[in-house]
Structure 1
Amino acid sequence: MSEPTKSWTIKARRATVEQFKPEDILPDHQPAYVTSWIYVFGVATLAAFVMLIISGLVLTLRGPSWWHISSAGHYVNSVHLWSVELFFVFMVVHLWGKFWMAAWRGRRLATWVTGGIAFLASIITGFTGYLIQTNFDSQWIAGQAKDGFNSMGIGAFFNTLNTGQAILLHVSLLPLVLGGIIAWHVILVRRHGVVPPIDEGSSK
């Protein structure tokens, strides 16, 4: 029995299979140049992001009083903080490495752009995280940022001194946005493959 061509589900399935082949999404081998250390930082960024999500979920479930008073809370809070630090270090090295490799070659411009957008979204997400530390550091950061945002007209939409607004953005919205961008970035990497070194040929 032939499949009806007017079915949108069949069209969507065919388009997905054509664009994202299983052997590209889950490859069983990689080129030899992938063993270079510069290719490690993308995966390291993902690993730090996973630790961020796990530790952040624990902090969300237990609340501020737990991470301020409990020794276990101090530990999880430290894991979350250092995951943030490593996430940004790995991401910056990854971005600079791919910049000098001209990673937009071979129809990979969308991959490069989504990586840059992920970096910008990470800065915003990290900023809201600093605002909800509920300590003197976050109070000082919020006060200074409020003046800067008001001078640009952003203060009418985002009040850095409103802890509830910052918590909702940091916990509910921004991680989903950032996770979606990262997921799309990884899908594009799997679709087009990792960028080869320049001396391997710019057309690949």
Structure 2
Amino acid sequence: MAAASNVEKETPADSKSWTLRLRQAIDRHLPMDHLLPDRQPYYVGSWVYVFGVVTIAALVWVVISGVALSFMGPQWWHYSRLGRFVNSLHFWSVQLFFIFMVLHLWGQYFMAGWRHGRAATWMIGVVIFAVSILTAFTGYLSQQNFDAQFIAVNAKDAMNSAGVGAFFNVLNFGQMYGLHVMLLPIGVTILVVLHIVMVRTRGVVKPIDPEGSSRSHGEASDFVGTKGGAQP
């Protein structure tokens, strides 16, 4: 106990310890009551946010099935019954991912989801969409079938005309496969995690009030379960 008290005395609040400053910064910018809240505003129940959650769920299945495919290889997903099933699971998970992501983006656009200092959250969502398109494109090129060959042969002219053919060679299976299973999925996952953290810390945007109410965002009556609060 004496040793612990001595350590506390030697570590004042303005300590130069980088670990202490890092912990204080995390506590200041990422408070746990925001990251893991016990109540939410009633408008979180909107379908727009449900679409976002379904997008994340689809991404989880995309990653799980993609890891299995990358370990087993093209022979497995083309000729094995289980491999074809996992390949189909991966494909349809991607379709659901894009469908619900687009619905979520449209909903946020018409709700002006960038209001009240949430422009960065909105822009990260847009970047996720753009990177996901590139990830899906490299996925089509990695199928190792005639479909992938046809897409690659036709896409190379577009890449060459854009001046990126020397760096992004769609006919190079190794490059496309490496981008698809490593670099791009990691980028999408990091951006999604960052997007979720920003949504948690800043909260979801309040619906546009057509009556021009002056009620501030996030007051007690906005939350589900509070006395006199609105219910979903």
Give the alignment's TM-score, normalised by structure 1: 0.96
Q: In structure 1, what is the Cα distance between the partners aligned to 2:215 and 2:148?
A: 47
Q: Over alpha carbons, which structure has the higher Rg?
A: 2
Structure 1 position 119 matched with structure 2 position 117: no
- Give the aligned residue type for 1:21: P
Structure 1 position 22 matched with structure 2 position 35: no
Structure 1 position 6 matched with structure 2 position 13: no
Q: In structure 1, what is the Cα distance between the partners aligned to 2:151 and 2:64?
A: 25
Aligned to 1:179: 189
Structure 1 position 96 matched with structure 2 position 111: no
User: What is the 5 A alignment of 1:71-110?
Assistant: 71-110=81-120
Instruction: State the shift of 1:36 in Å.
Output: 2.1
TM-superposition CA deviations, 1:89-143 (whole Å, max 9, x none): 0000000000000101111111001000000000010000000011111101101
Q: In structure 2, what is the Cα distance between the partners aligned to 1:135 and 1:193?
A: 45
Gaps of 5+ in 2: 1-7, 218-232
Q: In structure 2, what is the Cα distance between the partners aligned to 1:36 and 1:189?
A: 15
Percent identity, please. 53
Instruction: State the shift of 1:202 in Å.
Output: 9.0
Aligned to 1:131: 141
Partner of 1:156, secondary structure, is coil
Count, aligned residues: 204
Aligned to 1:61: 71
Contact 1:106 1:202 in 2 (8 A): no
Q: In structure 2, what is the Cα distance between the partners aligned to 1:8 and 1:33?
A: 40
Instruction: State the shift of 1:7 in Å.
Output: 1.0
Instruction: State the shift of 1:203 in Å.
Output: 6.0
Q: In structure 2, what is the Cα distance between the partners aligned to 1:8 and 1:78?
A: 48
Partner of 2:165, secondary structure, is helix
Structure 1 position 158 matched with structure 2 position 157: no
Aligned to 2:49: 39
Partner of 1:117, secondary structure, is helix
Aligned to 2:180: 170
- Give the aligned residue type for 1:149: M
- Give the aligned residue type for 1:38: V
TM-superposition CA deviations, 1:38-96 (whole Å, max 9, x none): 22011010000000000000101111000100111111000000000000000000000
Gaps of 5+ in 1: none
Q: In structure 1, what is the Cα distance between the partners aligned to 2:187 and 2:46?
A: 31
Cα RMSD, aligned residues only: 1.3
Q: Name whichever of 123-132 and 24-33 sits farther off.
A: 24-33
Partner of 2:120, secondary structure, is helix
Give the alignment's TM-score, normalised by structure 2: 0.85
Contact 1:52 1:84 in 2 (8 A): yes
Of 153, 156, 163, the residue aligned with 1:146 is 156
